[in-house]
Amino acid sequence: MKDLDHQHIVLGLCGSIACYKSAELCRLLVQAGATVQVVMTQAATQFITPMTMQALSQRPVLCSQWDVHTADPLAHIHLSREADVCLIAPCSANFIAKLAHGQADDLLSLLCLARPISAVPLLLAPAMNPDMWHHPATQRNLATVAADGATVLGVGCGDMACGQTGDGRMLEPAQLLDEVIACLQPKVLAGKRVLITAGPTFEAIDPVRGITNLSSGKMGFAIARAAREAGAMVTLVAGPVSLNTPHGVQRVDVLSACEMLQAVSTHIDHADVLIATAAVADWRPVTVASHKIKKDTAVPMQSLVLTENPDILATVAQSPRALRRELYCVGFAAESQDLLAQTQAKRERKGVPLMVGNIGPATFGQDNNTLLVVDDVGHREFSNAPKLSLARRLIAEIACRMGG
Ligand code: CTP
């Protein structure tokens, strides 16, 4: 099962140099299982040929409402009605202005105006020069189209084709694919704030060494993405991992357990849910050597004195808001044996309503996982699946328990 199986996407292109990215975007949408109907403005055809988009979408590309060869004489009405999502990428400043005023003088603006607003999401991926982006007229028009029900996906910051550096780059094709997938997910956590810990922690011994573990952070990052897809505002406190931040997620990087506790404490007051997936190191050295410990001098490793780290999840679970259930706490038990018994015992010990058990050595660094979801009445297994699929199931489960 692919993320966009059975989904029909209208991909609209306006005139912008960013059209070169739309070829890759079209490929990604098709690879994800979608059927893609490309519609181009005349200006877009100056930047990329309809033939290129036709070859990639495997469907005739539509460029005009006056084309007598088109099978459907009412294409401007039917195109958006048949779509699950309309995505305009790139969306030029001029096209945003047209949308804001309800103008409909070409096929793409016609189909946007004729789209059933409540049934078919309209996603806009703006692309323009920084001065055009920041111009009050553009910002005013963006506010108008957003108020009219369009989703403005924001822009990247960086070098522009015009030589300027700043805001206005179209988001990358992979980010846009994620946005399309996200907009089709049920919004079971709409308006909720979710705080997630992920990855290992690193407890320094000296400037070059430390205590850590094999957690990759993949499960926590997948949960962050799934929570954001479900409509939540997500803050991800990440230990040292080499993973890309899911689009739209606020990330706070930390190294040690104490730093992770500090970051969690900073953000917890506004959170509705804490999902603690981090594999927090249980101990840290009492003192950190300021220079590298040499093997023939100084402190031998045998005399390394450790102290226990704070338990972040247990601390938060005992806070007044968590005890009143205004903050829903979820833990992840990483075990190597006796999964059910260990997870049940850990749930009790940490005082959380939900503890998710998994076998650490089998899942650290992997793309798949198997989860055991344990609460006060029983347990349920989520069988082996990609971490993102499991994350979406878990988010649905959490939303359900929160009354969503
Ligand atoms: N946890 C935490 N702070 C710690 C230790 C663990 O917040 N100092 C959280 C983890 O993020 C996870 C849960 O507690 O959600 C269980 O973590 P785990 O490493 O499985 O258990 P430990 O409490 O460390 O116990 P043990 O090492 O004995 O299994």
pTM metric for this prediction: 0.93
**Structural domains of the chain, ranges and CATH numbers in brackets:** 8-183 (3.40.50.1950), 193-401 (3.40.50.10300)
Does residue 32 have a pLDDT over 80?
yes
Look at residue 160 in the predicted model and tell me its pLDDT: 86
Mean local confidence (pLDDT), 241-263 = 97
Cβ neighbours of residue 354 closer than 8 Å, sequence gap 6 or more:
328, 329, 330, 331, 347, 373, 374, 375, 397, 398, 401
Look at residue 76 in the predicted model and tell me its pLDDT: 80
> From the CB of 261, is ligand 1 less than 6 Å away?
no
In the chain, DSSP finds a helix count (H) and a strand count (E) of 15, 19
Does residue 263 have a pLDDT over 80?
yes
What is the band of 73 on the pLDDT scale with cuts at 50, 70, 90?
confident
What is the band of 139 on the pLDDT scale with cuts at 50, 70, 90?
very high
Look at residue 219 in the predicted model and tell me its pLDDT: 98
Look at residue 298 in the predicted model and tell me its pLDDT: 57
Look at residue 404 in the predicted model and tell me its pLDDT: 52
Does residue 54 have a pLDDT over 70?
yes
Instruction: Check residue 272 and give left, alpha or beta (phi > 0: left; psi -120 to 50: alpha).
Output: alpha
Amino acid at 117: I
Each residue's pLDDT tens digit, 80-104: 999 999 999 999 999 999 999 999 9
Does residue 77 have a pLDDT over 90?
no
Measured in angstroms, how far is the CA atom of residue 345 from the centroid of ligand 1?
A: 12
Mean local confidence (pLDDT), 387-400 = 97
Look at residue 142 in the predicted model and tell me its pLDDT: 98
Measured in angstroms, how far is the CA atom of residue 225 from the centroid of ligand 1?
A: 22
Contact between 228 and 248 under an 8 Å Cβ cutoff? The reply is: yes
Mean local confidence (pLDDT), 288-315 = 86
Look at residue 252 in the predicted model and tell me its pLDDT: 98
State how far the Cα of 97 lies from the Cα of 360, in Å rounded to an integer. 53
> From the CB of 356, is ligand 1 less than 6 Å away?
no
Higher-confidence position of 368 and 161 = 368
Does residue 110 have a pLDDT over 80?
yes
Cβ neighbours of residue 370 closer than 8 Å, sequence gap 6 or more:
358, 359, 362, 363, 381, 382, 383, 384, 385
Look at the block and give the residue holding tokens 């997936």: 277
Look at residue 75 in the predicted model and tell me its pLDDT: 82
- From 259, 311, 319, 340, give the residue whose CB has the most ligand 1 atoms within 8 Å, as the site to mutate: 311
Measured in angstroms, how far is the CA atom of residue 311 from the centroid of ligand 1?
A: 7
What is the band of 370 on the pLDDT scale with cuts at 50, 70, 90?
very high
HSE at residue 46, side-chain half, CA atoms within 13 A, is: 7
Q: Which of 221, 226, 262, 211 lies closest to 241, judged by CA?
A: 221
Look at residue 108 in the predicted model and tell me its pLDDT: 97
Does residue 69 have a pLDDT over 80?
no
Most trustworthy range by pLDDT among 63-67, 158-162, 336-340 = 336-340
Does residue 240 have a pLDDT over 90?
yes
Mean local confidence (pLDDT), 32-58 = 98
Percent of the chain, pLDDT > 70? 98
- From 264, 284, 339, 346, give the residue whose CB has the most ligand 1 atoms within 8 Å, as the site to mutate: 346
Question: Catalytic residues, which ones?
Answer: 162
State how far the Cα of 297 lies from the Cα of 315, in Å rounded to an integer. 39
Q: What are phi and psi of 10, to 5 degrees?
A: -90, 120
Each residue's pLDDT tens digit, 314-325: 999 999 999 999
Contact between 359 and 339 under an 8 Å Cβ cutoff? The reply is: yes
200: preceding bond cis by omega (within 30 degrees): no
Measured in angstroms, how far is the CA atom of residue 384 from the centroid of ligand 1?
A: 22
Percent of the chain, pLDDT > 90? 91
Q: What is the mean pLDDT of the chain?
A: 95
> From the CB of 354, is ligand 1 less than 6 Å away?
no
Does residue 175 have a pLDDT over 60?
yes
